[in-house]
């Protein structure tokens, strides 16, 4: 008979389940694979979980049964777990948009992000007095979201009297569309125009959405004229957000625009040391992290993903986390290929997937051309210095969002799909070979 004292509230239930999980696996395993999971809803016998993209597949495949048992031990009717979104009508508890672990203290400062960190801290300490708006830009995975959330967390802790709202441009769009279909725009306006600090992540998502863009334009004006602080981020500088109305691009540049650039070797090594320490992982080989930092030079997100893959391989193969294992699992990153060699990349990928180059850059959504195109875009981003819009133009005139989605899909699959990982490694070797082309 279930114990009536056991938790029934979803958040409390998940906390109790995590305590059981913590007791059943090594601390490093819990910290790496189970601690980041969030309960977002329940429906009959199913608990719905949310996981960061880099660990979702592994956590779902390896730990679903263990999690389900821990949840069942809490005396509820829930017997299964799902990493899919809750069905309509499920008792959904929206995941918090603000990550409490994103703080200024946990942000690793280096030459590429020092100015952005300083500007973000200045805004947090003196909203509407330092830089307004503050616009951070740079490729994905460099810490823009961390800095925005750090500002919001700082204000919640040190200025509780201020009303602060952090969201993404995608969420802003979804809320606006939902409001138009139900309660109307007035309630939506009240939500966003009567606040002291608004933080909007990934504003490039507004491109191609004229109605939402119009609403955001008026929201921006209302807040700015009221003296509220605005903090924005995007993957490009405002002038490169080409499909946004010029009046909105101009407003983004009214304050301070700061680039967030890729981390240098010392910064990457510091990030890795922090991640390993937080996960409670012991590394006997003192050169292992340096080897990994040398192999991943793109961004912090890829660095974290690479470390996750190495740990997974070490666990599966019962091998120590060493320089040798890293060399085996993680290919060395390089941007030695020039923009002119994109045709060579496309040709190599097309041949490896047994399709024509025309199919590769064409509009086909069939499985083989689609996967080949994603891999080719991944190599083009990795091996050249081209921007996302430039890459999109070389792949049939696709927009930067499509390019970014292709990158994310390949990165997410590399740690779990051995065949794809092998194919990517072989292609990289072929493309970088002196005899290629």
CATH number assigned to the domain comprising residue 378? 1.10.1750.10
Distance of CA 81 to the CA centre of its chain: 23
Predicted confidence at residue 162, as pLDDT, reads 87
Q: What are the two backbone dihedrals, phi and then psi, of residue 291, each rounded to the nearest 5 degrees?
A: -60, -45
184 inside domain: yes
pLDDT digits (tens, 9 = 90+) for 52-80: 766 777 787 778 888 988 898 887 778 88
Judge whether 281 and 311 are in contact, CB under 8 Å: yes
278 inside domain: yes
Domain co-membership, 316 together with 380:
no
Number of structural domains (the chain) is: 4
Torsion from C-alpha of 379, 384, 385, 389, nearest 10 degrees? -50
Domain co-membership, 24 together with 144:
no
Among the candidates 214, 240, 259, a domain finishes at 259
pLDDT class of 121 with cuts at 50, 70, 90: very high
pLDDT class of 94 with cuts at 50, 70, 90: very low
Q: Look-up: residue for tokens 């993404």? A: 168
pLDDT class of 334 with cuts at 50, 70, 90: very low
Q: What are the two backbone dihedrals, phi and then psi, of residue 186, each rounded to the nearest 5 degrees?
A: -65, -45
Say yes or no to pLDDT of 96 above 50.
Answer: no
pLDDT digits (tens, 9 = 90+) for 358-378: 889 888 888 899 999 999 998
pLDDT digits (tens, 9 = 90+) for 189-225: 878 888 899 999 988 888 888 888 888 999 999 999 9
Predicted confidence at residue 199, as pLDDT, reads 94
CATH of the domain at 250: 3.40.50.300
Predicted confidence at residue 271, as pLDDT, reads 86
Handedness of CA 19, 23, 28, 32 (dihedral sign): negative
1 inside domain: no
418 inside domain: yes
Higher pLDDT among residues 340 and 50, named by residue: 50
pLDDT digits (tens, 9 = 90+) for 296-333: 776 777 788 788 878 877 777 777 788 888 887 776 65
277 inside domain: yes
Range of the domain at 16: 10-92
d(CA 218, CA 213): 9
d(CA 110, CA 300): 12
Domain co-membership, 252 together with 286:
no
| Terminal-to-terminal C-alpha distance of the chain | 71
Supply angle C-alpha 416, 99, 160, rounded to 5: 180
| pTM for this model (two decimals) | 0.56
CATH of the domain at 319: 1.10.8
Predicted confidence at residue 377, as pLDDT, reads 92
Domain co-membership, 81 together with 151:
no
108 inside domain: no
Judge whether 151 and 99 are in contact, CB under 8 Å: no
User: Rg for the chain (alpha carbons), in Å?
Assistant: 23
Residue in 41, 58, 400, 312 with CA at minimum distance from that of residue 321: 312
d(CA 250, CA 246): 6
Q: How far is CA 378 from CA 163, 233, 331, 354, 415, in A?
A: 40, 23, 14, 18, 15
Judge whether 87 and 238 are in contact, CB under 8 Å: no
């Amino acid at each position: 008979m279930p114990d009536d004292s056991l938790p029934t509230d979803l958040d409390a239930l998940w906390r109790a389940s995590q305590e059981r999980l913590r007791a059943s696996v090594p601390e490093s395993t819990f910290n790496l694979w189970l601690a980041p999971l969030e309960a977002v809803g329940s429906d009959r016998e199913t608990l719905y979980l949310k996981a960061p993209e880099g660990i979702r597949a592994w956590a779902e495949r390896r730990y679903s049964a263990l999690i389900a048992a821990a949840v069942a031990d809490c005396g509820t009717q829930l017997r299964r777990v799902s990493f899919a979104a809750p069905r309509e009508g499920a008792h959904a508890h929206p995941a918090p948009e603000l990550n409490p672990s994103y703080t200024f203290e946990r942000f690793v400062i280096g030459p590429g992000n020092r100015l952005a960190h300083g500007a973000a801290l200045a805004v947090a300490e003196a909203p509407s007095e330092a830089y307004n708006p503050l616009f951070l830009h740079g490729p994905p995975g460099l810490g823009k979201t961390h800095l925005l959330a750090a500002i919001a967390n700082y204000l919640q802790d040190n200025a509780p009297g201020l009303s602060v709202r952090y969201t993404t441009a995608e969420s802003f769009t979804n809320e606006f569309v939902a409001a138009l279909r139900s309660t109307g725009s007035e309630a939506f306006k009240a939500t966003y125009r009567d606040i002291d600090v608004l933080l909007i992540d990934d504003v490039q998502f507004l491109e191609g959405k004229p109605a939402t863009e119009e609403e955001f334009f008026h929201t921006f004006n209302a807040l700015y004229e009221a003296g509220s602080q605005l903090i924005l981020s995007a993957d490009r500088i405002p002038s490169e957000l080409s499909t946004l109305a010029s009046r909105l691009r101009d407003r983004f540049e009214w304050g301070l625009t700061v680039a967030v650039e890729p981390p240098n070797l010392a910064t990457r090594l510091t990030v890795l040391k922090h991640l390993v320490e937080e996960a409670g992982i012991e590394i006997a080989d003192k050169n292992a992290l340096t080897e990994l930092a040398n192999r991943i030079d793109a961004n912090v997100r890829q660095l974290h993903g690479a470390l996750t893959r190495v740990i997974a391989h070490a666990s599966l193969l019962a091998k120590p986390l060493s320089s040798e294992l890293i060399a085996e699992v993680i290919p060395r990153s390089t941007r030695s290929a020039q923009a002119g060699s994109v045709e060579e990349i496309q040709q190599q990928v097309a041949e490896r997937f047994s399709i024509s180059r025309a199919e590769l850059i064409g509009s086909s959504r069939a499985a083989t051309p689609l996967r080949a195109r994603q891999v080719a875009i991944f190599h083009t981003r990795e091996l050249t210095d081209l921007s996302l819009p430039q890459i999109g133009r070389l792949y049939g005139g696709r927009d930067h969002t499509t390019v970014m989605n292709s990158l994310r899909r390949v990165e997410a699959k590399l740690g779990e799909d051995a065949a794809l990982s092998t194919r990517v490694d072989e292609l990289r070797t072929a493309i970088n070979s002196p005899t290629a082309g």
